[in-house]
């Protein structure tokens, strides 16, 4: 299955590639590479077979990747539905711990009402949250760390003999 964003590090900068070789390198279709050629990927010349210099291919893919990035400012979370960084509704988020030092900021998009998630480390929480009001949620720990791990435990019952 082809990757959504091709890795420009796979390209050898000093090599020339045909359309089929580029498609094979990234596991994509030849028409995808032809689409890149129509959208600005330069060829060595206009003769057949169309050849692309590796350095031009790597630069094209890097530029394409940087254009699609939307960095979030402090206090913003990227909304997948709106496809832009947004400030959560009411400037309030909840911090949900995943590990001892990492967690998610969870909020609601003010524009579309979709849930927003931003992964942050606990050390950089203030920088990532900015001026948002952060509420720390109490997450249940591992079941083995509770004094009474289960209410339906059969360990204390007397064994029955069927006999």
Average pLDDT, the chain: 86
What's the topology of domain 8-67? Arc Repressor Mutant, subunit A (1.10.10)
Asked whether residue 14 carries a pLDDT value surpassing 90, the answer given is yes
Asked whether residue 43 carries a pLDDT value surpassing 90, the answer given is yes
Distance CA 123, CA 41 (A): 42
Asked whether residue 1 carries a pLDDT value surpassing 80, the answer given is no
The tokens for 39 are 């959208």
Q: Tell me: the pLDDT tens digits for 46-68?
A: 899 999 999 999 999 999 998 88
Query: pTM for the complete prediction?
Result: 0.57
Q: Where are the domains of the chain?
A: 8-67, 77-139
For residue 16, with 0-12 CB atoms within 10 Å meaning exposed, 13-18 middle and 19 or more buried, which class applies? Answer: middle
Q: How many CB atoms lie within 10 A of CB 64?
A: 16
Half-sphere CA count of 125, side-chain side, radius 13 A: 18
The tokens for 148 are 């009474």
Q: Tell me: the pLDDT tens digits for 102-135?
A: 999 999 999 999 999 999 998 998 888 889 999 9
């Amino acid at each position: 299955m082809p990757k959504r964003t091709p890795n420009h590090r796979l390209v050898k900068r000093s090599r020339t590639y045909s359309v089929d070789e580029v498609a094979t390198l990234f596991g994509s279709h030849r028409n995808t590479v032809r689409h890149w050629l129509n959208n600005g990927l330069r060829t060595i010349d206009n003769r057949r077979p169309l050849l692309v210099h590796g350095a031009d291919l790597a630069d094209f893919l890097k530029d394409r990747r940087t254009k699609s990035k939307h960095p979030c400012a402090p206090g913003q979370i990227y909304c997948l539905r709106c496809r832009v960084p947004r400030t959560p509704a009411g400037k309030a988020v909840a911090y949900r711990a995943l590990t001892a030092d990492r967690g998610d900021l969870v909020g609601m998009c003010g524009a579309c009402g979709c849930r927003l998630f931003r992964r942050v480390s606990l050390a950089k929480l203030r920088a990532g949250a900015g001026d948002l009001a952060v509420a720390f949620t109490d997450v249940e720990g591992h079941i083995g760390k509770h004094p009474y791990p289960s209410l339906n435990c059969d360990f204390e019952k007397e064994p029955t003999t069927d006999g």
